[in-house]
Amino acid sequence: MAEPDVFSDLNAESLQIDRLVTGIDDSGWELPTPAPGWTVADQVAHLSFIYHLAGMAASDADAFTAMVAAAKDDFTGAVNAALALYKADPKTMLEKWDAERTAAVKALAAVPAGEVVPWLVNPLPPGILACAGIMETFAHGQDIADTLGVEVERTDRIGHLVGFAVLTRDFGYQAQGLTPPATEFRYEITAPSGTLWEFGPADSPERITGPAVDFCLLVTRRRHRDDLAVTATGAEAGTYLDIAQAYRGPAGEGRAPGQFAVAR
């Protein structure tokens, strides 16, 4: 069986955003999402900017490095300010989103094998940056879907996000000012297709198990652990379910228990 193409999967995942917002009226774009202070339009604008950054990192490293250096004293403020560059009427916003998505996927896929691209903290292989893009798309797409009251089709493409979350396990501890545990975790995550994805030593006393969709909702903090079928064995693994996040920086408010339907 061929290895999954993360760049093709990034493109396919990003098309979910188009399917979510195409056809909603102007008022739908201004609906508040579960992310406090963010509308549907804000979510799409944010994704457009993130993909713009990824495309720039892969295609013009010098310009990317200069932009990050200029914003280093208040990068979060710079990201929020950039939303204004992408907010417009719905037709224009979709055109900008599609242009940034297409350019980013093309640029990342064109990076020669073995090379890395600059990123916000450390240079990354383009495939890892593509996984981060799938994480962003999953998270913000879920916010849009929750706002509109629709379901998102989840496929085994989210395996890239599962692997990325395993790789970035320590982000949650860092966000909380905690020392990550030395013990490696065992992850046994069931894909949408039913395939079992396994990571970490089989004999680890710290284990995380559950459906991949629920695990991804956990690590993007789009659902509270109480509303998911993800389980932990071991004290450290139990703590992880409270703080898990697959992105750097502040954890954000997350979601409250019972805010959404309990896991299937």
Say if 68 falls within a structural domain.
yes
Q: Are residues 97 and 20 in the same domain?
A: yes
Say if 134 falls within a structural domain.
no
Which SS3 state, helix, strand or coil, does residue 208 take?
strand
73: Cβ contacts below 8 Å, ≥ 6 apart = none
Q: Are residues 86 and 36 in the same domain?
A: yes
| Calpha distance 168→162 (Å, rounded) | 10
Q: Are residues 112 and 176 in the same domain?
A: no
| Calpha distance 182→199 (Å, rounded) | 16
Range of the domain at 170: 159-243
92 DSSP 8-state letter: H
What pLDDT is recorded for position 1? Answer: 31
Q: Are residues 10 and 118 in the same domain?
A: yes
CATH code of residue 225: 3.30.1050
Beta bridge partners of 128: none
What Å distances lie between residue 167 and 185, 194, 209, 240, 245, CA to CA?
A: 11, 22, 16, 14, 11
What Å distances lie between residue 127 and 12, 137, 161, 169, 198, CA to CA?
A: 15, 15, 12, 18, 20
Cα of 193 vs its chain's centroid, Å: 21
| Calpha distance 111→121 (Å, rounded) | 19
Contact in structure between 226 and 220 (CB atoms under 8 Å): no
Q: In total, how many domains does the chain have?
A: 2
127: Cβ contacts below 8 Å, ≥ 6 apart = 6, 7, 108
**Could you identify the residue written with the tokens 């940056």?**
129
Query: What is the pTM assigned to this prediction?
Result: 0.94
Q: Are residues 177 and 105 in the same domain?
A: no
What pLDDT is recorded for position 264? Answer: 44
Say if 132 falls within a structural domain.
no
| Calpha distance 76→80 (Å, rounded) | 6
What pLDDT is recorded for position 67? Answer: 84
| Calpha distance 216→122 (Å, rounded) | 23
Q: Where are the beta strands (DSSP E) in the chain?
A: 186-190, 196-199, 207-211, 231-233
What pLDDT is recorded for position 79? Answer: 72
Which SS3 state, helix, strand or coil, does residue 179 take?
coil
Say if 100 falls within a structural domain.
yes
**pLDDT means per 10 residues in the chain (264 residues)?**
76 96 94 95 95 96 88 71 85 95 97 94 95 98 97 96 98 96 98 98 98 98 97 97 95 90 53
Edge-to-edge, what's the strand order for the sheet holding 207-211?
196-199, 186-190, 207-211, 231-233
Say if 111 falls within a structural domain.
yes
Q: Are residues 23 and 112 in the same domain?
A: yes
What pLDDT is recorded for position 31? Answer: 98
